[in-house]
Amino acid sequence: MKKTVNSIYESRKFIRIILMLLALVISIVTLYLSQLLVVKIAGEEKKKMEMWAEAESILSDPLSDGDLGFQLRVVQSNTTIPAMLVDEKGKIVQFVNVDTVGRTEGYLQRRLEEFKLENEPIVVPVDELTDYRVYYGSSTVLTQLQYYPYVVLGIVALFMFVSYAAFSYSTRSEQNKVWVGLAKETAHQLGTPISSLMGWVEVMEMGALPDNASLEMRKDIDRLNTITERFSKIGSEPVLEPLDLNEVVLEAINYMKNRSGHGIAFETHYWGHPVICKLNKNLFHWVIENLVKNSIDAMDGEGRLTCSVKQLKQRAVLDITDTGKGIPSNQMKSVFKPGFTTKKRGWGLGLSLAKRIVTDYHEGEIYVKESVPNVSTTIRIVLNASV
């Protein structure tokens, strides 16, 4: 089914939902992997503390003999895990990696209570009747790792909030540009036939009507009907019918020829046989009119405009080439965005409307085929064609 303007904004809402779900998945995966790592490191630290407790037990045993250098190195190697050795009466015999500088009295006892809640103690046999216990906490690395996922989640949440806000602002800004542009385009489209009809009313009041007056007024009324029909189709499903692209383009070019200055030389090349495409003639005329107006503006009213139609298997190709200023390579994709314009008094809607009509209503493509500054620019439209 062909997209409408409303469906485009609905798809953007869908993209926002996808972004939120993606952030949720990232958060869950981050928490899960971080928890696995915390558990693994906590297990490794427990093993280290068991070795440390065993080494302390050997070093504390007065009956130990032989080389105790290994046990001493084990005890000295613990530089990150805070631990306390407590005797059978609960008195702190030794502690490591606990900073007591500038601490108040009772600080060690408070840390001991924290260690008791954090990890199960490790029993250190001193003799047959006496057991000491080692209480320990998390190392600096493990503590930081426990907070790491929440920091990551905060960053992800902040990124998603900023992205969502920027995306919403961009969408509202584009909508505003579209509506402002449509309002101005409406006024511009209606201006010519209304001015013409007002002129005919003045002529009628003077009582001297030429023979072709009714015919010309009929043309202006038909033009108003055409404009009304065009704008009524924006946002709704247009009716497409099989038409010869040669004839549709010929009608549109002839209409623009009669309304262009003498400085524009039109050159047309049509395919040797009918190129049948499913088109809404009224809307497609609007596309060609916008492209031709854009080309005339780019040429400052003087130059050559070439229009060619051809069929390549099941694809119909329409090229419109002008000898104007050209489009810089970094702007070739931006020219079809609402609000983009290089004209001082433009509102940047013509090419945007053309793109929406071609892509959303006719399932075709429109793009800048090539552009050489101050030499030529070619806009190409590709449609599905019947063989």
Classify residue 104 by its DSSP letter: P
Q: Given this model, what pLDDT does residue 245 score?
A: 96
Are 380 and 246 members of one domain? yes
187 occurs within a structural domain: no
**Whole-angstrom distance, CA of residue 245 vs CA of residue 17:** 40
- CATH code where residue 310 lies: 3.30.565.10
350 occurs within a structural domain: yes
Q: Decide which of 143, 178, 197 is a domain's last residue.
A: 143
Are 247 and 378 members of one domain? yes
* pLDDT tens digits along 163-204: 777 777 776 776 666 666 666 666 666 766 787 788 878 888
Q: Given this model, what pLDDT does residue 250 score?
A: 94
336 occurs within a structural domain: yes
261 occurs within a structural domain: yes
Q: Given this model, what pLDDT does residue 11 score?
A: 60
Domain extent at residue 134: 5-143
Q: Given this model, what pLDDT does residue 10 score?
A: 57
* Successive 10-residue mean pLDDT values, the chain, 387 residues: 45 70 80 79 76 66 49 60 84 82 81 86 77 81 76 79 76 65 66 76 78 78 76 72 95 83 90 93 88 88 93 93 88 73 55 86 92 91 90
Q: Decide which of 143, 159, 181 is a domain's last residue.
A: 143
Q: Decide which of 87, 108, 143 is a domain's last residue.
A: 143
Question: By three-state DSSP, how is residue 270 classified?
Answer: coil
Question: By three-state DSSP, how is residue 54 classified?
Answer: helix
Classify residue 124 by its DSSP letter: E
**Whole-angstrom distance, CA of residue 97 vs CA of residue 30:** 30
Q: Given this model, what pLDDT does residue 256 score?
A: 83
Are 139 and 16 members of one domain? yes
164 occurs within a structural domain: no
Are 266 and 135 members of one domain? no
Q: Given this model, what pLDDT does residue 149 score?
A: 76
191 occurs within a structural domain: no
In sequence order, what are the beta bridge partners of 108?
A: none
8 A C-beta contact, residue 363 and residue 384: yes
CB atoms near residue 147 (< 10 Å):
10
**Whole-angstrom distance, CA of residue 59 vs CA of residue 126:** 10
Q: What number of residues does the chain have?
A: 387
Q: Look up the pTM and report it.
A: 0.53
**Whole-angstrom distance, CA of residue 223 vs CA of residue 163:** 45
Q: Given this model, what pLDDT does residue 304 score?
A: 94
Q: Which letter, b or e, does each residue of 288-325 get, where b requires 16 or more Cβ atoms within 10 Å of its Cβ?
A: bbbbbebbbbbbeeebbbbbbbbbeeeebbbbbbbbbb
How far does Cα 60 stand from its chain's mean position? 66
8 A C-beta contact, residue 275 and residue 309: yes
Are 120 and 257 members of one domain? no
Are 245 and 128 members of one domain? no
Q: Given this model, what pLDDT does residue 174 score?
A: 64
Q: Given this model, what pLDDT does residue 153 score?
A: 78
Number of domains in the chain: 2
227 occurs within a structural domain: no
8 A C-beta contact, residue 377 and residue 311: no
270 occurs within a structural domain: yes
